[in-house]
Amino acid sequence: MKNKKSATDFLQLIFSSFFRWWWAVVTAVVTFASWQLVSRDDILLTAPMFIILILIGSVLLFLALSVGYQGWLIYQEHFTRPRIVGFLKCDIYDDDHVFLLESDIDIAQGTVIELKRFHNGVEVAIALVEIREKNSKGQYQADPFWISPGPHRELTMGQFVYSEIEAEPLVKRRTLQNAIDYIIPPRGDAHEQE
């Protein structure tokens, strides 16, 4: 799935913290203070040229700080979610498969994570997994206690690219209800065993 964000969206994100009232105030103060503090005899520039140089320098400094700050936020957001790195046939837990996840943050044993992917442009929940343990490679082993039937077939046949699956640590109530209905069907309703 390609990212639909445009260059305009990127520039808006980068510059959103830059063009604020404080930028104008600080730049104006620095510009006029520099004009008053520097002796006119020491500089071969005219006063307006000096002000323009200070203004350009201030703009570049604040732009660099702003880009660094926005880049740091993007960097942190990128590494906060767990990533799916494998789906293996393994019967050590209740199910006959195990998801392998990597994460830059610690995940407590027993944490339930919702796995999602885009299908026809709509993000849908495909599974709920429970973190069981961390293996010697530093990967988390997660036992799926509910996998939607369609994605289950696709996963077992290897039709997924793991990078297409998002791991969301906050489980939505609707997804939890779907899992409960599948595990404990409502009266008179039976689901097919695969």
For residue range 129-165, list pLDDT tens digits in order: 999 999 999 999 998 888 887 777 777 777 778 878 8
Q: For the chain, what is the mean pLDDT?
A: 78
Using the 8-state DSSP alphabet, how is residue 170 labeled?
S
CA pair distance 61, 63, nearest whole angstrom: 5
The pLDDT tens digits of the residues spanning 68-112 come to 888 887 777 666 678 889 888 887 776 688 889 998 788 889 889
How far apart CA 90 and CA 111 sit, in angstroms, is: 20
Residue 97's nearest CA partner among 115, 118, 79 is 115
pTM above threshold 0.85? no
The CA angle 193-144-171, to the nearest 5 degrees, is: 115
User: Where in the chain are the domains?
Assistant: 7-78, 83-183
